[in-house]
Structure 1
Amino acid sequence: MSVRRIVFTSSYGAVHMDPNRSPDKVLDETCWSDTEFCKKTKNWYCYAKTLAEKSAMAEAKKRGVQLLVVVPPMTLGPALSQGLHLTGKHLTQYMTVGTKRAVPNAVAGYVDVRDVAQAHGLVYKSPKASGRYLCIGYVMNRLELIDLVKERFPHYPFSKRDEHDKTPMVKPYKFSNQKIKDLGLRFTSMKETLSDMVLSLQEKGHLPIYTISKL
């Protein structure tokens, strides 16, 4: 039996890196990262993700296969692996002494790993599915993200914003996740995602266990 449909996991690194895009532009499935800009700035991650997705599209078209693409951002939540993965470091570096001294005034997209898994299933099973699907739950400033963790786990020695940084808080960019919502996905709250992630990191020994407060 020949393959008719493939679900490909891309990254929002293939979507958002474009210096010419207006701040008022709503990021959606039509957006692509500018590969020339990525090369110029040596952002090889975004460059590679963009080329990988476009190459997959070209190969699928050549072979007559329907390619469906799920595009997640920074993926958070409980981990299956025992080791400390990249997104685990993304959080623990601001919760342990001697790592990051300051939280950057920067924004990023986030999603729960369980939502990404569900998105793949929804896209694969839906007869009406086509093209790309942004699987972005939230876009927020890193400082706001850490504040959410502090609400539930206030006893950690959190990094703070650089006291010398007087620039205004960077605002989240606009985006649309309506296409994946139309297939039935409902995004997990970031409070729940972060709480489950910290508990998972504690269980695996990557964070010390302190008293926790209720959600």
Structure 2
Amino acid sequence: MMAEITATEEASKRGLELAVVVPSMTMGPMLQQSLNFSSSHVARYLTGVKPTYPNAVAAYTDVRDVARAHVLVYEHPDARGRYLCIGAVLHRCEDDGKPMAKPYKFSNQRLRDLGLEFTPLKESLYETVTCLQKKGHLPLPVVPIAQKH
């Protein structure tokens, strides 16, 4: 958010039109070996470090969709303003007796109008988990050894 504010101020000073892609929490395969905020967010739940889900609403998008969104916005010379790069919104809730957090509304239509098709969250999350396993941040599934007779 601070980068967007600074970029908007600088563009205004210089008389430039600015297009900004604003991604939500990103999921999907990671290029780096170490955990970043998004990948550690998933790993904490799967390793049991974070034992419960909060009564909260969270927005997610695939990292590859964020990259495609930047390319699409760059390739459209008439692109201006904010482009929300949000593929899905989920409600996570623990049984704490409180009313469920209210989901928020957004529109990713501007990116869809440029031709972006968002990766389904289920696919993105699956690829996040398999990537975390390949990079050693999550254990691989244990396959039972068949008993010999």
Normalised to the residue count of structure 1, the TM-score between the two structures is: 0.62
Summarize deviations over 1:28-73 as a string: whole Å, max 9, x none.
xxxxxxxxxxxxxxxxxxxxx2x43222112112223332100111
Identity %: 56
* SS in structure 2 at match of 1:127: coil
Correspondence for 1:117 among 38, 42, 67:
67
Aligned to 1:141: 91
Q: Which runs of 5+ in 1 are unaligned?
A: 1-48, 144-160
Q: Say what the alpha-carbon RMSD is for the aligned residues.
A: 1.7
Aligned to 2:29: 78
1:12-161 counterparts in 2 under 5 A? 49=1, 51-97=2-48, 99-143=49-93, 161=94
Aligned to 2:135: 204
Aligned to 1:167: 98
Summarize deviations over 1:159-210 as a string: whole Å, max 9, x none.
xx3x5x1123324211111111110001000010000000000000000011
> In 2 relative to 1, CA 202–169 (structure 1 residues): closer, same or farther, beyond 3 Å?
same
Partners in 1 of 2:60 and 2:142 — Cα distance? 26
**How far is 1:100 from its partner?**
1.3
Do 1:78 and 1:196's aligned partners in 2 also have CA atoms closer than 8 Å? yes
* SS in structure 2 at match of 1:167: coil
Equivalent residue pairs, number:
143
**How far is 1:84 from its partner?**
1.2
Amino acid at match of 1:184: G
* SS in structure 2 at match of 1:103: coil
Normalised to the residue count of structure 2, the TM-score between the two structures is: 0.88
Partners in 1 of 2:86 and 2:25 — Cα distance? 9
